[in-house]
Amino acid sequence: MIAAGALALLAAILFACGSVVQQRAAGEVPDTEADGLGLLARLVRRPLWLAGTGADVLGFVAQFAALGFGSLLLIQPLLATTLLFALPAAARLAHRRLSRSDWGWALLLTGGLAVFLGTGHLNEGHSLASLGRWLLVGVVIVPVVGALWAMGAPRRGAARAVPFAIAAGILFGSMSALAKSSVNLLESGLVHLLSAWEPYAMVGCGVLGLVLQQAAYQTGALALSLPAITVLEPVTASALGVVVLGEEVRASGAGWLVIGAACAAMAAGVVALSRAEAALERPAGGSPAPAPAPRAVRR
C-alpha cells in the first residue's frame, strides 16, 4: 500500500506538470486552427507541448506501476492531488503569488483525502472481468462520449470546453480501469498482454481522451475544463472498479457519513483549486494575461 501511494503521488506530480505546460501551449493556438486532429498536428510541433506530453507519459507509467500494488479505489483519489502540485507550478510560471484561500482549499482537499483513505477499508476485488461485462459498460460510455463530442464540436469557448472536458474525464477514467486489467495481464508475460484486447482499448481511450483534453485546454477556459477532468477521471475509474472489477469500500454506521463528508470536501477542494489555477493561466484566445499587482490574488 505504501508503494502504491508513493507511485500515485509521483504520477500526480507528473500529471500536474504536464497539464500546466500543455494548457499553456494549447492556449496559444488560434481557434481557426483548432479543429479536430488539426490541433494535435500543430501542437506536436511545439517543444513546450511535447515536454508536457512527456511528463504525462511518465505520469501514466507511474500510475500503471501503482495499479500493480493497489486498487483503483486507492490510486484514483490520490491522483486528485494533481491540483495541489499544478497550482504552485502554474503560479511560478506566471510569476504570481497564491492567496490564503488557495492554501485553505488545498488543506481541505488533503484532509478529505486523508479521512477517506483512513476511514474506508478498501477491498481490491479482481483485476480481470469478462468481455460481456465490459461490453455492457461500453454500451453506456460510447454513446455518452459521442453525444458530448457532438455537443461541443460546433461551438467555441466554454460551450466547447465543458462537454469536451467531461468526455475526456470519462475516457481517462475508463483508461485507468483498463490499465488495472492490463497490469494483471502483464504479470503473465508480454505476449499474453499483447494477445488480449484490454491494452488496445486502453490506448484507444487514452488517445481519444488526449484529443478532447487538448481541445478543451485550447479554449483557455481552464476553470471549466480542469475541474471536470480532475473529478470525473477518478469517479469513472472508481465506479468501474466497483461495477466491473468488484472492488469495495467497507465501512459501518457513521463511517459512511464520514466517508461522504470526506468525498464532498475533496470535490469542493478540487473545484475551488481548479478555478484558482485558471486565474493563473492565459485567457481564452491565447493572448497573455495582464500582469497582476505584486500581492496575493483576491477572490
Assigned domain for 35 exists: yes
Report phi then psi at 47, rounded to 5. Answer: -55, -35
Domain holding 102, by residue range, is: 2-278
Chain length of the chain: 299
Cα distances (angstroms) measured from residue 214 to each of 12, 16, 44: 18, 15, 11
pLDDT in tens, 94-151: 677 777 787 788 778 778 777 776 676 666 666 777 888 899 999 999 999 999 999 9
Assigned domain for 167 exists: yes
Give the separation between CA 49 and CA 21, rounded to whole angstroms. Answer: 6
Which residue in this structure is represented by grid cell 488560434? 30
Give the separation between CA 125 and CA 248, rounded to whole angstroms. Answer: 7
pLDDT in tens, 84-106: 777 777 677 767 777 778 778 87
Assigned domain for 210 exists: yes
Give the separation between CA 113 and CA 11, rounded to whole angstroms. Answer: 16
Give the separation between CA 172 and CA 179, rounded to whole angstroms. Answer: 10
Q: Which amino acid does the sequence have at 148?
A: L
* Count: domains in the chain: 1
Assigned domain for 160 exists: yes
Assigned domain for 289 exists: no
Total-model pTM: 0.76
Assigned domain for 291 exists: no
Give the separation between CA 90 and CA 98, rounded to whole angstroms. Answer: 10
SS percent in the chain: helix, strand, coil, step 5: 75, 0, 25
Angle formed at CA 210 by CA 238 and CA 36, multiple of 5 degrees:
135
Residue 165: pLDDT over 80: yes
